[in-house]
């Protein structure tokens, strides 16, 4: 249907999102029962119409039973098929006008199908978690599911009192009545729908380090029996936070939390102000420390500064990959140059078919995108020199905080910090498929001890 191909539709997921309006705020009230995996919810969505009268619009929502839909308090005409809730208000919304949508839904949440397996709400043996990238958010709530449409969130979750609820943002209240507890979280920073994280499980909460005056509160939520391993594996996260604030600028949110589930996850999952790890990422030997750095770096690159559409995913993953290398370099491991050389050898041995600027849906999570993305950032560092390079990164994070960007935006920004044009660099690394030569050596960041091998995580 032509209406779904409106200007601004994501070329990789044209059925997700609706560019004819934007959401300002979501208020979600959920009730979840882990045993029967039963979810019921109410969403109040405050939105603003675009430049044309809004005679109809779309929300993405999986196959739940719809109990009620209202637009500005009035009953609209709506249909709900194929993961799309199409709504036709009783009266068209004027261009630029604010409007409110209310949706009630219920059912048994499950992941939505994708080329990468199930995405979104995942029922665990004893609890649940949400891992939505890129299009799993409609598995549990109605949303305008496009990364550029960023909104604030308030999320209220009622569940049996034996369970903890962790969401990205600040915990406002926790209220127990009889056998259930209601947890209310506020995420005031603009957030993409796929980055709304949620975990429900039986966790012990610990404080990671001492944030001190003006510091960033960092908490871990983990099964109690994994606490000894977690205390070693995540011991250096406070130092990562310190380094990344030095290199990238202030942490963009109020708090940061990590969750470790009882079950294994293929890869950790970043959400806004929150990262989720599987039990397999906790081994007591810091075996997944590069992933701890990677997920933390996404808070700047990918979460605070988001992509306009999924063609630009290398901006998220390339910068987070390079943050891994910077952490290794600063903490006494292999230097960024050594890691870049290893990545270059890895890619050189594989077919040269990936274009960073537009990898296509099939290759958007290919390992080559991550490695070549990191190499591209390294090439920029070599071209600019450390002083200009890190000023460029800090400026990027500050200028676009809370916004959405593209590859062209990044190239134009980087060019302002260069003494010579960067067109050939971006053309070779980002817009063409052949692998350019390994960038020249750069001076490594000085190692900055002490980085404790096993700092404690305190309850």
- 289 a known binding residue? no
Which residues are paired to 324 by β-bridges? none
Active site (annotated) includes residue 322:
no
The CA distance from 174 to 159, in Å, is: 11
Q: Given the structure tokens 């719809």, which residue do they identify?
A: 66
CB distance 383 to 418 below 8 Å: yes
The CA distance from 455 to 458, in Å, is: 10
According to DSSP, residue 244 is labeled H
CB distance 286 to 232 below 8 Å: yes
Taking the CA atoms of residue 281, residue 283, residue 285 and residue 287 in that order, the dihedral angle to the nearest 10 degrees is -30
Which residues are paired to 31 by β-bridges? 40, 158
The CA distance from 36 to 165, in Å, is: 17
Given the residues 141, 163, 251, 370, select the one marked as catalytic.
370
According to DSSP, residue 4 is labeled G
The CA distance from 121 to 110, in Å, is: 5
Active site (annotated) includes residue 295:
yes
Both ends of the chain: CA-CA distance in Å?
Answer: 54
- 312 a known binding residue? no
Q: Nearest-CA neighbor of 140 among 129, 150, 148? A: 129
Stated as kind and residue range, the H or E segment containing 227 is: helix 227-233
Given the residues 186, 270, 289, 295, select the one marked as catalytic.
295
- 219 a known binding residue? no
Structure tokens at 60: 């993405």
Catalytic residue ranges? 295, 370
Q: Which residues are annotated as a binding site for Zn(2+)?
A: 294, 298, 317
| Binding site members | 294, 298, 317
């Amino acid at each position: 249907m032509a209406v779904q191909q409106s200007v601004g539709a994501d070329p990789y997921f044209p059925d997700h999102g609706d560019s004819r309006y934007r959401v300002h705020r979501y208020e979600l009230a959920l009730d979840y029962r882990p045993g029967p995996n039963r979810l019921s919810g109410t969403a109040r969505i405050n939105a603003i119409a675009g430049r044309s009268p809004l005679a109809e619009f779309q929300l993405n929502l999986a196959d739940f039973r719809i109990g009620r839909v209202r637009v500005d308090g009035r009953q609209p005409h709506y249909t709900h098929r194929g993961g799309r809730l199409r709504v036709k208000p009783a009266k068209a919304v004027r261009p630029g006008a604010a409007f409110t949508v209310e949706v009630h839904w219920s059912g048994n949440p499950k992941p939505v199908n994708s080329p990468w397996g199930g995405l979104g709400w995942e029922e665990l043996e004893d609890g649940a978690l949400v891992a939505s990238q890129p299009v799993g958010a409609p598995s549990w709530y109605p949303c305008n599911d496009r990364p550029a449409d960023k909104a604030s969130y308030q999320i209220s979750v009622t569940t049996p009192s034996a369970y903890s609820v962790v969401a990205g943002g600040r915990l406002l209240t926790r209220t127990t009545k009889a056998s259930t507890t209601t947890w209310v979280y506020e995420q005031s920073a603009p957030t993409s729908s796929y980055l709304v994280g949620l975990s429900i499980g039986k966790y012990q909460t610990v404080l990671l380090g001492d944030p001190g005056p003006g510091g960033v509160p960092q908490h871990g939520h983990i099964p109690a029996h994994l606490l000894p391993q977690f205390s070693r594996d995540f011991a250096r996260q406070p130092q990562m936070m310190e380094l990344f604030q030095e290199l990238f600028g202030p942490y963009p949110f109020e708090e940061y939390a990590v969750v470790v589930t009882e079950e294994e996850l293929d890869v950790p999952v970043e959400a806004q102000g929150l990262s989720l790890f599987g039990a397999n990422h906790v081994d007591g030997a810091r075996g997944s420390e590069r992933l701890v750095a990677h997920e933390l770096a996404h808070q700047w690159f990918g979460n605070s500064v988001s992509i306009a559409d999924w063609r630009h995913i290398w901006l998220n993953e390339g910068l987070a990959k390079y943050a891994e290398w910077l952490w290794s370099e600063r903490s006494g491991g292999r230097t960024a140059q050594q890691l870049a050389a290893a990545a270059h050898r890895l890619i050189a041995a594989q077919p040269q078919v990936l274009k960073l600027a537009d990898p296509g849906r099939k290759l958007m999570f290919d390992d080559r995108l991550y490695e070549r993305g990191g190499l591209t950032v390294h090439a920029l560092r070599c071209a600019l020199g450390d002083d200009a390079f890190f000023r460029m990164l800090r400026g990027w994070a500050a200028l676009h905080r809370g916004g959405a960007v593209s590859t062209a935006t990044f190239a134009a920004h980087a060019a302002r910090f260069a003494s010579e044009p960067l067109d050939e660099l971006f053309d070779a690394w980002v817009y063409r498929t052949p692998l350019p030569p390994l960038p020249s050596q750069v001076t490594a960041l000085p190692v900055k001890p002490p980085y404790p091998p096993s700092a404690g995580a305190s309850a």
